Amino acid sequence: MKFVYSHGGFAREIMRSVRENFPNDKIFFVDDNATGDAISYDEALNRRAESASSFVIGFADSNLRRQKTEMVLSDGFSIFSVQARTAIIGENVSLSAGAVVSDFTILTADAQIGHSFHCNIYSYVAHDCIVGDFVTLAPRVSVNGRVEIGDDVYIGTGATILPGRADQPLKIGRGAIIGAHSLVTKDVPENTVVIGAPAKPLKRRT
């Protein structure tokens, strides 16, 4: 049995891929405010005895995604990953549990991807990148080679991260936010919001 935690837009987008990945499983949306075709978390707890049950977490907010992941694991569920049929995952790509790799995305080669990674449509991660846990790439994000991304980073729609060097990867610190359509040309400190082309700091996150 498979559960998609969230009933919002992104969760609905990935449901088709979940069904394609797990055609023989019962699949449910789970939402804290269960309406329509979503069930409550309490109902998911009641159903887990029917068969082996696991979750993918559909929330974009990294803190909420982390919170829900820890909760379902503590309640005895496991976490599964989702890969769209049109996604490409290349050689020597290490992809941790809970990943969502959406349609028309590419993880090219020799990349390490952390837990509960969200890669939205038309985004890519190039060679020799290291991506932390609970990282979100919005649609059409370009992460070029030799980039290191810390945990809980959000990269907005259409942003481009230029490549680092073999001896000096470009680094985006934990908790940073990259604004939509920004061009990142140098390291971004942790918990910093950057915007523009080239991207410049807007403020520190509290």
Mind listing the pLDDT tens digit for each residue in 23-78? Answer: 999 999 999 987 778 999 999 998 877 777 899 999 999 999 999 999 999 999 99
pLDDT of residue 167: 95
pLDDT tens digits, 110-158: 999 999 999 999 999 999 999 999 999 999 999 999 999 999 999 999 9
pLDDT of residue 199: 95
Sheet holding 111-113, edge to edge: 93-95, 111-113, 130-131, 147-149, 170-172
- Rounded mean pLDDT of 68-90? 96
What tokens does 42 get? 């309490």
What tokens does 190 get? 């942790």
pLDDT of residue 37: 87
**Residue 205 confidence (pLDDT) above 70:** no
Going 111 to 118 to 195 to 176, the CA torsion angle's sign is negative
pLDDT of residue 33: 85
Cβ neighbors of 29 (< 8 A, separation 6 or more) are 3, 4, 6, 7, 11, 15, 37, 38, 39
Q: Residue 27: in which H helix or E strand, if any?
A: strand 27-30
pLDDT tens digits, 148-187: 999 999 999 999 999 999 999 999 999 999 999 999 999 9
**Residue 81 confidence (pLDDT) above 90:** yes
How many CA atoms lie less than 13 Å away from 187 in the CB half-sphere?
Answer: 10
pLDDT of residue 203: 64
pLDDT of residue 87: 98
Q: pTM of the full predicted structure?
A: 0.93
pLDDT of residue 206: 59
Among all chains, which residue has been given the structure tokens 């490549």?
163
**Residue 5 confidence (pLDDT) above 90:** yes
> Residue 204 — very low, low, confident or very high, per pLDDT cuts 50/70/90?
low
